[in-house]
Amino acid sequence: MSTQPVPEALNPDIRKRDIVVEADGETLEKMLKMGHVRGFTVMCDEGERVGGNDTAPSPLAYFTIGIGF
């Protein structure tokens, strides 16, 4: 039986960890935004009642689901 090494982030012997997240964002039109992080692209928009086109989740929706994860 082979054992796999413990990932660095889960190694209890490591007492200090640096966490770095780099992201870029740009406004496309009205309230529509595009963001890039770790090779992923995400879009966010606001609903029509606040000036957006409702074409993607709002920033608050992303924040809310992030708490759930």
Q: Is residue 1 part of a domain?
A: no
**6-43 pLDDT per residue, tens:** 888 888 888 888 889 999 999 999 999 999 999 999 99
**Total tally of structural domains belonging to the chain:** 1
Residue 64's domain comprises 22-68
15 inside domain: no
What pLDDT was estimated at residue 1?
62
- 49 token code pair: 């009642």
* Residue 54 included in any domain: yes
Dihedral of CA atoms 7, 64, 20, 38 in degrees, nearest 10, equals: 80
- Residue 42 within any structural domain of the chain: yes
Q: Which residues contact 8 (CB under 8 A, 6 or more apart)?
A: 14
pTM higher than 0.95 for the full model? no
